[in-house]
Amino acid sequence: MRHQRTGKKLGRDASHRKALYANLAGQLIEHGRIRTTVTKAKAVKPLAERMITLGRRGDLHARRQATSVLRSRDVVHRLFADVAPRFKDRPGGYARIVKIGPRPGDSAEMAYLELIDEEYVAQQRAERATAVAEPEEAEEPAAEAEEAEAEGDEEAEAEAEAEPDEADEPEAEAEAEEPSAEADAETAADDEK
């Protein structure tokens, strides 16, 4: 009889299950958000929250307990140095499960398990958005440089017409050349990216 035996077995023996939980919790701490099945997310969430509570305690014994579960000093260091301090004023509930629909291959129900610190999640989304937007932004500075060059030429022509002195003409030509030099520098910087 299995009375009072809680938790999912996930089709694994005890050592495999323990390793799976440690790996998923470590990845959650390291990345802030992981994509997994709903069942695994429900199984790992309590363990990850326990690790964050240990990180909030911050003493040596808590660090050793976290290391015994997570098995990685790098992950434990990140937990105690970066993740846990963000939750210092929160009494619990550090992670959430967001269902995202079935997986195409086997229709397993998938979910994101993510830390709910709003600043952290917003920062991660902003980083992803900038990574996606970088190719588009690379085209925009080139267009802006061309516009600036055209505006610089128009301004130089207007100044040359307003003051026909020969002494001012070399300055107008120098001003017209400066935006093109800046545009060339920006284009070269964009090409290096």
pLDDT value at position 164? 52
pLDDT value at position 85? 92
Q: What is the mean pLDDT of residues 164-188?
A: 52
Residue 83 predicted with pLDDT over 90: yes
CA 119 to chain centre: 11
**Residue 46 confidence class, pLDDT cut points 50, 70, 90:** very high
pTM, entire model: 0.62
Q: Choose between 112 and 139: higher pLDDT.
A: 112
pLDDT value at position 135? 65
φ, ψ for residue 36, nearest 5 deg: -155, 180
Distance CA 116, CA 31 (A): 12
Contact 51, 98 (CB under 8 A): no
By DSSP bridging, strand 95-102 and strand 109-115 are: antiparallel
